[in-house]
Amino acid sequence: MNAQESAIYAGGPIYNNRNVSIDELRNSGYTTVVVWTIHIEANGDLGFNGEFPLVQNGVYVGDNTYPNFPDDIVKLKTAPTSINRVEFGLSAAGSGTFDAVRNFYNSEGFGPGTTLYNNFLALKNAIPGIDAFNNDDESTYHVASAVAFTKMLAGLGYKNAIVPYTRSSFWSSLVSQVNAAYPGNIDRNYLQCYAGGSGNNPCSSSWDFGIPVYPGLWGGSGQYSISTVESRMNSWQNSCGITGGFMWIYDDFDNSSAVAGYAAAINNALSPGNAPGAASAPNPSENATNVSTNTSLSWSAGSAATSHNVFFGTNPSLGSGDALGNQSGTTYNPGSLNPNTTYYWRIDEVNAIGTTTGSVWSFTTANANTNEVDHTDPAGTGTITARAEINNAESADRAFDNLSTNGTQNTNWSKWLDNGGIPSVTNPSWIQIQLPNAVVVNKLAITSANDVPDRDPENFNLQGSNDGTNWTNLNSWTGQTWSNRFQRKEFSFTNATNYSYYRLNTTKNRGGISMTQICEIELIGPAGTNPPVGCTDCIDFNTITLGSYSNQDADGTHFIEDNGDTARLVNNTWKRSSTSYTITANTMLEFDFKSTNEGEIHGIGFDENNSLSSNRIFKVHGTQNWGIRTYDNYDANGGYKTYVIPVGNSYTGNAMNLILVNDNDAGSGNNSSFRNVRMYESTRSNAISQNKGSKSIDEFDDEPNGSLGNQDILIYPSPINESLQIKLPVNHGFTSAQIFNLTGQLVVAKKVDLGQYHIQFDTLQTLNSGIYILKLEGKQNSNIQKFIKK
């Protein structure tokens, strides 16, 4: 076997452009060509990729379409050539090949004289240049038939290879059973590390079947560049000693310099190594200021580095006392840092050849009283436009939707994909947002997308404007890289000017290719520049003191945001207000809650003393069964959800303090934001039908609008079945009517006009029986009523 094996999958050009492609492949530097691909039809005939027939009823018929096909396959390995092995692919997604194999296994098997045996024997006699078959089952996954079929091919003298992207247990069974009968027959695992297999790691034990693993990447326009292929292959070689790799697919870059370029990338990456290159692209960036005290360090690994020595301290001359150890990952969390402090750090890159000492980088943390907010949060803030977007599923709006966790596309993660061409200084890949108000932004955060690192921004700048026409350059960055998918990096800069427009221009992406993509963009600045989102009667957290509650306030980290309307707690933090409140039987608690990282307990409530009381805290989120759990239903995926809780139904008391809980004994990173916290009395909550007196409903309908009086609100019937009627007094001032269940979930809402005195909710028959809350709200007043659904 060669020192390294480089394979390429090739289809149509081999026979459609044979005079060019055969010689191009022979001179390319690849050692293996996988000819793509044979389909087994339902009747057992062999066809080539649905394009022309090869074997029918035990007779080779390929000459009828391409008479030179057998000789060209032999020529691929005829000197002078780099190719020493030719495989033919089998199947591909949607071909039905292995469904046919399963059906023949059940009907007649694969022994001499059977349909598939005769057809593959005819193929062997017609094209003796085939060395192996390449199994790409992507749908059937039937172990017994796949094993028997592969044994038939082995008995005919062929080697076999596999090309999985999922179902490792199936492939493990196939390899172990075939190689037990024919030792060493399945000799290569071509692991797909692109498209559906982009998250695969050839160094993972789940793909170790006792045979060499050759990872593959997708080349061509809009896919992995030559330099990225070499970098990825080299990284895998350093991590677990891979000895081969492959490219998908020749048809996307044939008749170009990329053919030999990709082969050289694999061969160079897998050749004997050198000392590692230097680490680069520090985050926080060099000399960054106003950096969060909870920041993490990240960097791009030097070429051929297998691990990293981390140094961190407050002295620019980093010594042995600043060494924090060796690690394999390219991120490091130094823990909570001191405010307004300059830190220095260095990464020394390590491999078996030696150690390369890195540059010393520095950054300065923000002042202790600096609170930051993302001015693009919540999702939907501002008007977003961009140079281009490939489709609605990967539109510009996706860059500001706060979704960046790996999962189902555009549900738990999303991205903006710009297909407007190779970005440049004169034609950048740009995206901009017009915010509702002018705000200060002095930090940019970018999260890399799910696949194709060559689409990541590398050189970019951020601009501000107040008219969308005249732009001010705020800062520029070059040579930036994201070493992982869904990696978030922050970029701080100096700016004290409020702008209502912000534009990000990418002038170069990592691969110099025609598509550019970003998972998430955050525009971060001082909290005081954010327009207030609160209400006139909400708790102003700037005017109350939040001390520790009981003995639970282990971390205590909290921030007051949105001009005092929001209290945000992080890590293990339990807070108790110095201000006290009276809770009556009619007290209602209303607030908005969000969390982007679930902990054990997220809750709110009141307590008359500083002793831990589980029967005082309403839990709305978290993994631990603790507190009053009637309202434990947060499901807003990192966005705000409104709760209306009748506190007086659970307890009452005088001089009770507000309690806010964000608990996670197991670690850090969880958070809770409580916004627009307000309390009010539902004084008419039990007067459901008493206002009717001796009058009928029709009598009320016939009376003038003012007949109910300024304070009278009538809801009927009681209990309701399908419809709820509401009569409002003159000059009521209400602008909305909302119905909540007793867990605080909004059921239905209606807009109310100021001149409207009658509201009707129909089609309520689907509601479960029980008590519901009607909330009437305006700019200056609100009213709560209870009603019963039978």
Confidence class for position 679, pLDDT limits 50, 70, 90: confident
Q: What is the pLDDT of residues 90-131, one digit of tens each?
A: 987 778 999 999 999 999 999 999 999 999 999 999 999 999
- DSSP-assigned states of every residue in 236-298: HHHHH---EEEEE-GGGT-SSTHHHHHHHHHHHHTSS--SPPPPEEEESPTTEEEE-TT--EE
Confidence class for position 536, pLDDT limits 50, 70, 90: low
Confidence class for position 368, pLDDT limits 50, 70, 90: low
Would you state the pLDDT for residue 628? 93
H or E element that contains 9: strand 5-10
pLDDT (average), residues 741-747:
73
Beta strands in 615-670 (DSSP E): 617-621, 641-646, 653-663
pLDDT (average), residues 27-34:
96
Statement: residue 786 has pLDDT above 50: yes
Cβ-in-10-Å burial (0-12, 13-18, 19+) of 467 comes to exposed
Q: Note whether 444 and 494 are within 8 A (CB).
A: no
Please, which contacts does 413-416 make with residues 24 or more away whose CB atoms are closer than 8 Å?
A: 413/450, 413/486, 413/519, 414/519, 415/449, 415/450, 415/517, 415/518, 415/519, 416/386, 416/389, 416/517, 416/518
Q: Note whether 434 and 468 are within 8 A (CB).
A: yes
Residue found by looking up tokens 């501002």 in the block: 382
Beta-carbon contacts of 533 under 8 Å, excluding residues fewer than 6 positions away, are 562, 565, 566, 675, 676
Would you state the pLDDT for residue 227? 92
Which amino acid belongs to residue 528?
G
Cβ-in-10-Å burial (0-12, 13-18, 19+) of 461 comes to buried
Which amino acid belongs to residue 362?
S
CA distance 326 to 310: 6
Q: What is the pLDDT of residues 704-727, one digit of tens each?
A: 333 333 346 777 776 787 778 888
Would you state the pLDDT for residue 32? 97
Instruction: Please give the domain boundaries of the chain with CATH numbers for all domains.
Output: 5-270 (3.20.20.80), 280-365 (2.60.40.10), 374-526 (2.60.120.260), 546-681 (2.60.120), 714-789 (2.60.40.1930)
The number of beta carbons lying within 10 Å of the beta carbon of residue 742 is: 16
Would you state the pLDDT for residue 685? 32
Would you state the pLDDT for residue 468? 87
Q: What is the pLDDT of residues 32-58, one digit of tens each?
A: 999 999 999 999 999 998 899 999 999
pLDDT (average), residues 459-488:
88
Hey, what are 381's tokens? 């803030």
- For residue 358, give the nearest of 284, 292, 305, 289 by alpha carbon: 305
When comparing pLDDT for 623 and 329, which is higher? 623
Its pTM stands at: 0.46
What are the backbone dihedrals phi and psi of residue 707, each rounded to the nearest 5 degrees, phi first?
-70, -20
Q: Of 448-457, 694-703, 752-761, give the range with the top mean pLDDT.
A: 448-457
pLDDT (average), residues 760-785:
79
- DSSP-assigned states of every residue in 502-539: EEEEEEEETT--S-EEESEEEEEEEGGGSPP---TTS-
CA distance 249 to 228: 16
Q: What is the pLDDT of residues 618-667, one digit of tens each?
A: 999 999 999 999 889 888 778 888 888 889 889 999 889 999 999 988 77
Hey, what are 776's tokens? 């009437």
Q: What is the pLDDT of residues 244-270, one digit of tens each?
A: 999 999 999 999 999 999 999 999 888
- Which of 175-189, 246-260, 370-384 is least confident? 370-384
Statement: residue 694 has pLDDT above 50: no
Please give the mean pLDDT across all residues of the chain.
86
Confidence class for position 81, pLDDT limits 50, 70, 90: very high
Would you state the pLDDT for residue 704? 31
Strands 85-91 and 132-136: parallel
H or E element that contains 702: helix 697-702
CA distance 752 to 731: 12
When comparing pLDDT for 287 and 705, which is higher? 287
